[in-house]
Amino acid sequence: MAGRNIHPQDIEGSLRDCHPAIRAGGIAAFAVEEGAGEAVAVLVEVRPDASPEVLRDVLEAVRAAVLKDHQLHCAVVVLGPPGSVSKTTSGKVQRSRCRARLIDGSLEAQALLVDRCTREELGTDSQEAAGAPDVSVGAQAISFAPGAPLLDGITRERVIAAVDEVAGHSGAPGWNALLQYGPSQGIVNADLARALSAAGACTVAATDITITVGAQEGFILVLRALELHRRGTLGIVAPAFAGIRGAATFMGAQTVDVLEGPEGVTAADLEAACGRADALGEPLRALYVAPDFANPSGTVIPRQARLELLHAARGRQVLLIEDTTYGFTDPDVPPSLKALDEHGVVIQVGTFSKVCFPGARVGYVVADQPWNGSTLATWLATLKNTTTVNTPALSQAMVAGLVLSDPAALAERQRMLRKSYRDKRNLLLTALDDEFPTQANSDSAGTGRRAGSSS
């Protein structure tokens, strides 16, 4: 590159301490094509809650460090959440895999910020720019992925009233109990079971639910319970929510990508993934799938395809880890995989971050499979007891008072959010039509339009 041998480890070393927001070990440098030659691309992991100002500072620090130490410009800088850098099970950076994900678009889909900049945009040749104090930055593409959920109707007074309501119920724990340790499996399981049944999501017993610290803890506990760090392979629909990849990396699970089509993952996709996993020497034991408006692709799996996927999973003895985060955005989506599951192949993971508020950090896992003489949900609670002990009772009470204590409250909250998100989406599409009339009406524009969806 530029007539010199450049080692990616050297570039990564230059970036390790260039900004405090960069995660140690979360850096990958690799080459990408630029014109007739090659240029540097860099992927760095930062905190997922980093503000736009912090992301901008990291971007400039990365470009400046590579320019100062190696006299090279970065053609692409990708800032991603934890788990973005592909690694082997032993923790070695897989640079070729990172490069492939950049090329196929799956890396950008989960990124917090992607910045592309040619030498011409920098306005100088990289060889002549050594030691330059300022680095110009090209046009940025900021992902919508880390966008904060709507908090319409969630106020300080409403939250306090919600907890008062829960604490005051007959037989319910009072305020003092909410400030203490609680059972690892949760205290709002019965309310949640009723709400899931009322919404038609699935019919499940309270004892088959474990309340978690957000869906993220749910994923980690499930992967730990399945012992995927010891044996077997986890299939991950690609592109996928960054959190599941981060959980797999954290747990040291071997993974295989399952590329989805325009209608999501299919039974044929699962069969192909089983073949690839067998070739790796570790059979596919579980598959992560988000059947309703998957993040980031937005795909929805049709009902018949869901039934076929369940049949294939049962035949292959593969557990489906169902992410239901965005199912609430359209009331007309098919029943959840868990609702259609007649043979215990689905583990459902959900969250209240989108329908309530993310600061509560309350999620759940529906896991009614027989496990170690009891159920998987009970085993998850046992594992949770050794980590976070319990999901804070105060947080559970907030959620219960807001959307669970009244069977109709959750459905009403979802209806209100659907309308708000639909209005915002329509406003965005109108702006796209106004600003980019040709591109916005092109089938190849990638605007994410989906007829009939509310997401």
Q: How far apart are CA 223 and CA 147, in angstroms?
A: 26
**Mean pLDDT, residues 238-260 taken together:** 90
Confidence label for 399 from pLDDT (cuts 50, 70 and 90): very high
Reference 82, options 54, 49, 108; nearest CA is: 49
The DSSP letter of residue 208 is G
292, pLDDT greater than 90: yes
130, pLDDT greater than 60: no
pLDDT tens profile 62-77: 998 998 888 888 889 9
Q: What is the pLDDT of residue 439?
A: 59
152 or 136, higher pLDDT:
152
Q: What is the pLDDT of residue 36?
A: 67
Q: What is the pLDDT of residue 119?
A: 54
Reference 78, options 99, 96, 93, 94; nearest CA is: 99
State the number of CA atoms in the 13 A half-sphere of 395 facing the CB: 22
Q: What is the pLDDT of residue 2?
A: 56
Q: What is the pLDDT of residue 293?
A: 93
246, pLDDT greater than 70: yes
Secondary structure of residue 22 in the 3-state scheme:
strand
322 or 440, higher pLDDT:
322
Confidence label for 240 from pLDDT (cuts 50, 70 and 90): confident
47 or 355, higher pLDDT:
355
Query: Of the segments 134-143, 404-413, 446-455, which one has the largest average pLDDT value?
Result: 404-413
Q: What is the pLDDT of residue 447?
A: 43
203, pLDDT greater than 80: yes
Average pLDDT, the chain: 85
The two structure tokens encoding residue 86: 């592909």
Reference 354, options 191, 150, 110, 156; nearest CA is: 150
Q: What is the pLDDT of residue 170?
A: 52
Q: What is the pLDDT of residue 253?
A: 92
198, pLDDT greater than 70: yes
303, pLDDT greater than 80: yes
Residues 6+ apart with CB under 8 A from 380: 185, 210, 212, 221, 222, 225, 365, 367
Lowest mean pLDDT among 109-118, 254-263, 326-335, 436-445: 436-445
What does 339-374 look like in DSSP terms, one character per residue? Answer: HH-SSS-EEEEEESTTTT-GGG--EEEE--SEETTE
Confidence label for 51 from pLDDT (cuts 50, 70 and 90): confident
Q: How far apart are CA 254 and CA 66, in angstroms?
A: 32
The two structure tokens encoding residue 58: 């990291």
Q: What is the pLDDT of residue 132?
A: 35
**Other CB atoms closer than 10 Å to residue 370's CB: what's the count?**
9
Q: How far apart are CA 287 and CA 306, in angstroms?
A: 13
Secondary structure of residue 158 in the 3-state scheme:
helix
Phi first, then psi, for residue 363 (nearest 5°) are -135, -170
pLDDT tens profile 368-383: 999 989 999 999 999 9
Share of the chain above pLDDT 70, in %: 87
Q: How far is CA 361 from the centre of its chain?
A: 15
Judge residue 68's burial from the number of C-beta atoms within 10 Å of its C-beta, 0-12 exposed, 13-18 middle, 19 or more buried. middle
32, pLDDT greater than 70: yes
47 or 346, higher pLDDT:
346
Judge residue 383's burial from the number of C-beta atoms within 10 Å of its C-beta, 0-12 exposed, 13-18 middle, 19 or more buried. middle
pLDDT tens profile 321-368: 999 999 999 989 999 999 999 999 999 999 999 999 999 999 999 999
Q: What is the pLDDT of residue 320?
A: 98
| Contact (CB, 8 A) for 403 and 413 | yes
Cα distances (Å, whole numbers) of residue 368 to 109, 230, 380, 389, 390 = 33, 23, 11, 21, 20
**Mean pLDDT, residues 242-259 taken together:** 91
Strand order in the sheet with 140-142: 22-34, 37-46, 74-80, 113-116, 140-142
| Contact (CB, 8 A) for 376 and 210 | no
27, pLDDT greater than 90: yes
